[in-house]
Structure 1
Amino acid sequence: MAPTTNARRRLRRAGSSRRWMTAALIGAVALTAGCSSRTADSPAATADSGTLTLVDQRGETIALDGPAAKVAFTVMPAPSIFAAVDRSYDRIVGINQSTLVANQGGMFATMFPASAESPVVAGSDFVPNVETLVGLDPDVVVQWGDRGPDVTRPIEDAGFPLVGLEYGTQEDLETWIALFAQIAGKPERGEQLVEWQRAEQTAMRDKVAAQSDPRPRAMILSRTGDTYSTTSASGYDGFQFDLVGADLVTKGFVSDSGQVSPEQILTWDPEVIMLSGFDQSTPADIYADPRLATVSAVQNKRVYKTPLGGYRWQVPSAESPLMWQWMHQVLYPGERTGELRENIRVAFDDLFAYDISEDEIDQVLRLDLNEDATNYDQFLR
């Protein structure tokens, strides 16, 4: 069944260009007093024909008749980033199954009730459900652009325009923000969010450079049943652990599945363990595992469940600066009660147009799961 054409504003492919969106869209932008310096001939400029053009991470140049009214996301955490750009969920019509789980389990459904019932357009393999897409009839579908034709071709064969993304670096995150701002018709908003991310990176680097304490050994850990897995230092965690002043113990670790044995964790002996938000593991589970009893983080009660805000904070998102602050305070605890809470309050208002309550901040910070962790009382209200 082919998608209808009269209900959807068509995106037209305008050829191919191998320019990076970050360099063309963000790097040449200077924000002064909240004003944009975007030039008329940038990749996101409005042409005389009334179209908006953008360059995705495949290097494809795409033209849009105007800001998209309906956007489907087969990938995560893209919807929460788009919602932060738009300060709304109104344009999002389809999401990944994993995103739906995160929405229903955290703050996102509270802020945007419709997100708890969004149609699912792809699962964990990111293969699109074309029949569902046809029924939703989005103006554009956002998909991984570097995972082969199995995930992109069905969308394009069905006649839907596709914006392809790549994942793994802070530069990728900034590119997503810029792309989503163009899709929403809000380029200046994208510039502001990127500038915030960059300013927070600079502030964090300055803070870490001024420290005299030894860098803690740390890791991200996932648990499913009795099986553990972790992340490689070559990915986003390598960037953000270094940014906040920690030595990621998984440096040099190579595994297609990410699985890691308890014996390897014992050898690494992390001083701090941060638990993934993609599973149901808790600090209590880790403390109760006799195989990890002699790990420093277990003995010193320094195992922490990562926060869940608009999305899981551990991965690149619009909320990443909040994750960096949380990580740094967990690694280097001090008398800073209330600092992160106030920053969450301000950020949620700016990102999601939402006035978050004290109880909801407790929920984001997983105070119920982390209450017994060393120095977690610094996050109390």
Structure 2
Amino acid sequence: MIKLRRSIIICLTFVIAISLLLTGCQDGTKDSQPDTSGQTGTITVTDCIGRQVEIPDQVDRIACLYAFSGHVVAMLGKADQIVSVVDGLKRDVLLNSLYPGIKEANIPVTSGSINIEELIKAQPDLAFIKGETARSEGEVAKLNKANIPYLVVDFNNMREQQYAVTMIGQAIGAETEARKYNEFYQACIDRVEKKVSSIPSSQRVRVYHSVNEATRTDMKDTLPADWLQAAGVNNVSVNQPLKLIEEKHFASLEQILLWNPDVILVNEYGVGDYIMTNEQWATLSAVQNHRVYQMPIGISRWGHPGSLETPLAILWTAQLLYPDKFTELDLADEAKGFYAEFFNLQLSDEEIDQVLKAQGMRKAKGNK
């Protein structure tokens, strides 16, 4: 009896010991694993100037210190994550009506200079800056000192602009949406080039493109020079000596008078009226023949060096200048389809007409 009791005690002791050992192992395993709740990893993104930048793999707060980046972020479905913008982004009427939260974003940039204290207040996970900012040692030093990761958005032709969209999509987790846009972009280029490629150089329309100010224009190796070539025009300012002021190119009025373009395209609303009514421009063929055209304004100013709607600008310009080659092209339908597909925005005929005529689509400086 005593032996049986001793055997039972030994068995119970063994079972308890094993149980304690297993429990200890389980607790030890739990303690050895790091707590990853709330933590995120990183990804490496190559920006437009070749910098390989490590950024959070989940970006929730975005500073768009270049208007183009704000347009792209919105198009890719992340407008609600924008916390800082440049002044110009708040002047785009259609964009702000679609994404009213942009009106609440702070503006930490004045005349190209970053107010780093204001930017820090917004607590961005990531900042997009333009090439001009990246070429300023002082501006870059501010960002580095504040330890804010940034990606440079810079492009001088259509291919580079498409890469910029790809890069932004990768950075904010919207690669599929970025790829769809670039496929549309390339399709527009292909459609137009197929029809205009047979036009001899001597028969191509000679165009002067006014960017913002009346005498600001296109130099070679710039986005407008590239897309206008795709549209089949002879751009009169390309390869000409221009004055460089703060990374912008300007012609003199005397040069423009000598070029005497057939057509003038303007990006900034009101500049066309200025050219048509100013006596200094009156001798130009484009003015005398009433061929000064305001380019459309939608989310951005079509055809502008920082425009998201470059593919639409190519279609619009090609049809304007070579209508016989694009009889099947309905710009209103094209624009409607673009905004529906990429912004989930259903515009009425009246609203599309406003976009194509650039009426009320962009506020004047200082009027936000």
TM-score of the superposed pair, with normalisation by structure 2: 0.78
- What displacement does 1:297 show? 0.7
Aligned to 2:102: 115
Q: Is the 8 A contact 1:167 1:173 kept in 2?
A: yes
> Is 1:204 paired with 2:204?
no
The counterpart of 2:238, out of the listed 214, 228, 251, is 251
Aligned partner letter, 2:166: A
Of 313, 316, 322, the match for 2:312: 322
> 1:97 maps to what in 2?
87
User: Would the alpha carbon gap of residues 330 and 321 (structure 1) be closer, same or farther in structure 2, given more than 3 Å must change?
Assistant: same
Q: Which runs of 4+ in 1 moved over 6 A?
A: none
Q: Report the counterpart of residue 191 of structure 1 in structure 2.
A: 179
Distance 1:353 1:211, change over 3 A: same
Distance 1:230 1:198 in 2: 25
Deviation, 1:131, is: 1.3
Specify the code of the residue in structure 2 equivalent to 1:183: A
Paired amino acid for 1:136: A
Structure 2 CA distance for aligned equivalents of residues 200 and 148 of structure 1:
35
**Following superposition of structure 1 onto structure 2, how do residues 40-51 of structure 1 map, counting pairs within 5 Å?**
50-51=41-42
Q: 1:285 to 1:57 in 2, by over 3 A?
A: closer
Matched, 1:135 2:135: no
Which residue of 1 is the match for residue 224 of structure 2? 237
What is the aligned partner in structure 2 of residue 228 from structure 1? 215
Instruction: Find the residue that maps to 2:350 and give its secondary structure.
Output: helix
- Deviation of 1:346 after TM superposition, in Å, equals 0.8
> C-alpha separation between the residues in 2 aligned to 1:273 and 1:192?
32
Task: Provide the alpha-carbon RMSD of the alignment.
Answer: 2.4
C-alpha change, 1:287 and 1:115, in structure 2 (3 Å) is same
Distance 1:65 1:77 in 2: 22
Deviations for 1:309-352, whole angstroms, at most 9, x for unmatched residues? Answer: 11111234432111111111221235848711001111101111
1:151 counterpart residue number: 139
Residues 98, 124 of structure 1: 8 Å contact kept: no
| Separation (CA, whole Å) in 1 of partners of 2:346 and 2:257 | 43
Structure 1's 220 and 123: CA in aligned 2 closer, same or farther, altered over 3 A?
farther
Question: Partners of 1:333 and 1:289 in 2: how far apart?
Answer: 29
Would you say the 8 A contact 2:260–2:286 is kept in 1? yes
Report the CA distance between 1:139 and its aligned residue: 0.6
Q: How far apart are the structure 2 equivalents of 1:306 and 1:114?
A: 27
Q: In proportion to residue count, which structure has more helix?
A: 2
Asked if the contact 1:98/1:123 (under 8 Å) is kept, the reply is no
Per-residue CA deviations over 1:109-146 (Å, capped at 9, x if unaligned) read 22222223432121332x22211111110110111354
Please list every run of 5 or more consecutive structure 1 residues that lacks an aligned counterpart in the other structure. 1-8, 11-48, 370-381
Q: CA deviation at 1:270?
A: 0.6
Matches of 1:50 and 1:229, distance apart in 2 = 45
Report which stretch shifted further, 202-211 or 353-362. 202-211
| Aligned counterpart for 2:157 among listed residues 164, 169, 183 | 169
Could you tell me how far apart the structure 2 residues matched to 1:177 and 1:289 are?
A: 39
TM-score by length of 1: 0.76
Bigger mean CA deviation after superposition, 301-310 or 109-118: 109-118
Q: Which has the larger radius of gyration?
A: 2
Match of 1:62 among 34, 39, 53: 53
Matched, 1:312 2:301: yes
Gaps of 5+ in 2: 1-37, 361-368
Q: Counterparts of 1:367 and 1:59 in 2: how far apart (Å)?
A: 36
Which one-letter code corresponds to 1:192 in the other structure? K
CA distance in 1 between partners of 2:221 and 2:109 (Å): 27
The DSSP-based 3-state class of the residue aligned with 1:256 is: strand
Rounded to whole Å, the distance in 2 between the matches of 1:321 and 1:59 is: 25
1:267 aligns with 258
Q: Output the CA distance in 2 between the equivalents of 1:154 and 1:244.
A: 41
Correspondence for 2:71 among 61, 72, 80: 80
User: In 2, Cα distance between the equivalents of 1:223 and 1:64?
Assistant: 34
1:340 — aligned with what? 331
1:77 Cα deviation after fit = 1.5
Give the structure 2 partner of residue 297 of structure 1: 286
Query: Structure 1 residues 144 and 151, CA, compared in 2 at 3 Å: closer, same or farther?
Result: farther
The one-letter code matched in structure 2 to 1:233 is K
How far apart are 1:154 and its partner, in Å? Answer: 0.5
SS in 2 for 1:228: coil
SS in 2 for 1:231: coil
- The 1:318/1:144 distance shift into structure 2, 3 A limit, reads closer
Deviations 1:244-301 (A, max 9, x none): 0100001222211333333221110111101122xx5342221111112121110111
How far 1:359 sits from its partner (Å)?
1.8
SS in 2 for 1:355: coil
State the Cα distance separating 1:368 from its structure 2 match.
Answer: 5.4
Amino acid at match of 2:195: K
